[in-house]
Structure formats: C-alpha cells, structure tokens
Homo-oligomer: A and B are copies of this chain.
C-alpha cells in the first residue's frame, strides 16, 4: 500500500500547518500544565459545620458554589436535604452534572418553643442513611445544627452510643444554639423499627459501597 503522491507545494503547506499544530499543541500543553498547577494549589472550602459522621456519611450546613470543588472530591452518590425550601438552581445543576441523587425531607426550621420535629420524616431519612447503596452521602440542612443534628443523633442511638455522647456531639455543632427540645426528641426517639437495618453494626457501621 503506497502513500498517495504529494506535490512539493502541498508538502510545504502541510509542514506549515504541522508547525502551527505543534505550536497550538505546545500552547495547550502549557495551559494544561498551568491549570494543573493551579488546581494542585487550589484550596478546598468544606461547607460550614462539615464533618465526617461515619464511613461514607458526612454532615454539614448548606453548601454553596464555593464548596462544590470540595464536595466533588468526596465523590458523593447522594445528598439528604432536610429543608422544605426548593433546592437552588446552582446546587441542582451541580448534582445533575455529578450524578448525585437528591433526597429531600422538608422539615420546618421552627424556633423554640414551637419546635416540632416529625418523627416519621426522621425515620425515613435514617433509612436512606443506613442504605450503603446511597454512600458516600451528605446530610445537610441550613446550618447543620438542629435538623442535621437530630438525624445524626438518632443514628448514634441506633449505633448504641450513650445519650451523654450523643448530646456531646450534637453540642459540638449546635454550640450556643443547642436546643433542649432537640435533645428531648433524640432521647425519646424510638429506634426499634430500624434495628433490623443495622445488623452489620460493630461500633461504627462498616459501609460496603458497591
């Protein structure tokens, strides 16, 4: 199979184009390298009140666009969102482009003494948390204090933490905003209907992300 014949003019023209291509390639490589350097130096901005709860389970306040780089690095599969307000467009876009599933459980963010945390909703949220198919997963509300604190607190009860430790953890995040009503809710929350979901539990549940 012989090469097709090329005239001298054509060859010259091709060499010119090749040189240009190389130049462009060189520029692109330089740009890519610069971008990689920048990316390597780029700082992560975890959302407010961010923490790891357990293998594959995280908690935080409301993430905004500045947190997307960090959330991307967590390789989230799902987000549990505990407010009734619709999810902002930018956040929805982020979820869409990263294949993250949103589970919304709209709990009103009432202020004491009118707090009324719906036990059924927390129960449903916990079922999502306990399903390792949904991991890695982020639980968040607005500030990552009360609604998120209650879900995590109930999870800790299921993990057989004594109440003192459940409250200690809750207070780390709620700080000056800690609510007696949340603590009472966690204390009285009945975990019996979830016990069958946590049979593989050993202290900190082991996730076996598929």
Contact = CB atoms under 8 A, between A and B. Distances in A.
Q: Is the interface on chain A under 10, 10 to 19, 20 to 34, or 35 or more residues? A: 20 to 34
Contacts of A45: 161-162, 164-165
B203 A70 contact: yes
A55 interface: yes
A44 B162 contact: yes
A162 B203 CA distance: 31
A109 interface: no
A12 interface: no
Contacts of A160: 42-44
Contact of A165 (B50, B75, B159, B203): B50
A74 interface: yes
A25 interface: no
Contact of A49 (B74, B168, B204): B168
Interface stretch (A114-122, A169-177, A185-193): A169-177
**9 closest A-B pairs by CB:** A73-B203, A43-B162, A52-B52, A172-B172, A46-B165, A44-B160, A45-B162, A74-B203, A73-B202
19 contacts: A43-B161, A44-B159, A44-B160, A44-B161, A44-B165, A44-B203, A45-B161, A45-B164, A46-B161, A46-B165, A49-B168, A50-B165, A51-B51, A52-B53, A52-B54, A52-B204, A55-B55, A73-B202, A74-B203
